[in-house]
Structure 1
């Protein structure tokens, strides 16, 4: 594969940035809307935005992005929305990981480029489900692909929330083929399983990686719909639950569940491992960790 993806890289990274801007605006709107009920007496939360850089071994420019974090809001206890475009040469461990996934030619030419958006929301109210979403494009001289998805991580499960979240994901996937949603749901169930606990991290969603059909435009359109599905699937659940009262027992359940979430992200998550191994800003990579957690 020749390095003729310049326009496609530009379009993909611009889309991820536009999605980031839309999400940040929507979430600050959620904070503004919490004018009564739990924690409505505190100032509405706002994102703190900082630039991130990837550290290359030779000190050359290797790209970076924006890290947007909100802490201590009315609705969001901690949420991070990261967007980045990084590039350079993969190290030996990352090359081996790519080769194990079937990417050819990495030893001969280990250049890469990657761009995407990654989001994790930890909520003040234990009744409001935590959530994760990301979409990304990855390029090497030998192959390119998309990946991403979103999954729901409630500490207090409501069947209607789970059903509604999955229904929106399915509707967006169905635009690209009726076979896609069942495949991606099963993929998420497998990927977000915590083996040492013998249970899932949450109630699932959709997940895909190494996604390439040979039609880049179709694959990009599908990835965009996965991104669009996120707000449509999750914001109604926030609206449904954000006014509910909670007590010590609910907060304790939330902290214990966050411990499970942290274990998964530190031990198994592919994105966490890749980000740390390729020199991306550690604070941005570990943004997904909750502000507080508990182990029993």
Structure 2
């Protein structure tokens, strides 16, 4: 299975890298084109790119990626777009978790390979929603699967924005399977829920994991569609909302909502737990945390 999947691994890894380049270019374009409204007289933001590396127990190369973070731009207060391709052996806790999920052969062989893209954006303007997106491929000697999704996290909700975001994701899902959107929207509603607060962290989106229909090409094509749908789903919302004036009360609502986001990512998020448990760069794993937040 390893030899058969070498080309597919490379293909998936390259796709995530190409998608990263498209999104980074689009986000810097939003910074450049922000010519009116709040903060339009500030300097346009730019991404700072830092290579990441995963080391094995003896310091051997176990892959890595790029951590791309923009801070204090005109439009984005903090946004990270990370890619990684890593491999090695899972630690005891991660191996036990995968075994409990029913990954074939994981109890006997902890080797893995994983590649993906992860994005979180926190905006300057409280009228602009925060957003998360990730897609990934995971391989073990006994199994492979895809996962990912995207969800919108406004502190000031607009029904039209929610409808547009969900509509773009639904179109991506419907092109591959008529049941995907309802199934993956429901999964997102459940997954992005904060039990100790009794509420969702945003207005949802889609979430899927362990996607293996037996047709690698079809599952990869769907994962590509989810990634490709992200900019059409999100960018028009920012172009419309970035010019709106905001008040101190709006900023206060934004900071308190960010507190919810931080709580979720630190306590419940599966990707955060996996990244830290497998020894990936901690700064890259915790890139999702907002630059400023409030709690009461």
Aligned residues: 296
Q: Offset at 1:18?
A: 0.2
**Aligned positions of 1:48-197 closer than 5 A:** 48-197=48-197
1 CA distance for matches of 2:132 and 2:56?
28
- RMSD in angstroms over aligned alpha carbons? 0.7
Match of 1:268 in 2: 268
Match of 2:39 in 1: 39
Match of 1:249 in 2: 249
Task: List, as ranges, runs of 4+ consecutive aligned residues in structure 1 with deviation greater than 3 Å.
Answer: none
Give TM-score scaled by structure 1 length: 0.99
Match of 1:206 in 2: 206
Secondary structure of the 1:62 match is strand
Secondary structure of the 1:39 match is coil
Match of 1:259 in 2: 259
Match of 2:224 in 1: 224
Secondary structure of the 2:61 match is coil
Secondary structure of the 2:55 match is coil
2 CA distance for matches of 1:127 and 1:101?
39
> Any conservation in 2 of the 1:3–1:141 contact (CA below 8 Å)?
no
1 CA distance for matches of 2:177 and 2:262?
34
> Any conservation in 2 of the 1:75–1:124 contact (CA below 8 Å)?
yes
> Any conservation in 2 of the 1:2–1:142 contact (CA below 8 Å)?
no
Match of 1:9 in 2: 9
Match of 1:215 in 2: 215
Secondary structure of the 1:5 match is helix
Change (3 A) 1:70 1:2: closer
> Any conservation in 2 of the 1:117–1:134 contact (CA below 8 Å)?
yes
1 CA distance for matches of 2:63 and 2:116?
12
Structure 2: 5+ residue runs without aligned partners?
Answer: none
> Any conservation in 2 of the 1:34–1:74 contact (CA below 8 Å)?
yes
> Any conservation in 2 of the 1:173–1:181 contact (CA below 8 Å)?
yes
Match of 1:20 in 2: 20
Q: Offset at 1:56?
A: 2.0
Q: Offset at 1:247?
A: 1.1
2 CA distance for matches of 1:105 and 1:169?
34
Secondary structure of the 1:103 match is coil
Give TM-score scaled by structure 2 length: 0.99
> Any conservation in 2 of the 1:133–1:149 contact (CA below 8 Å)?
yes
> Any conservation in 2 of the 1:128–1:238 contact (CA below 8 Å)?
yes
Q: Offset at 1:58?
A: 2.1
Q: Deviations over 1:225-263 (max 9, x none)?
A: 000110010001001100000011000000000000000
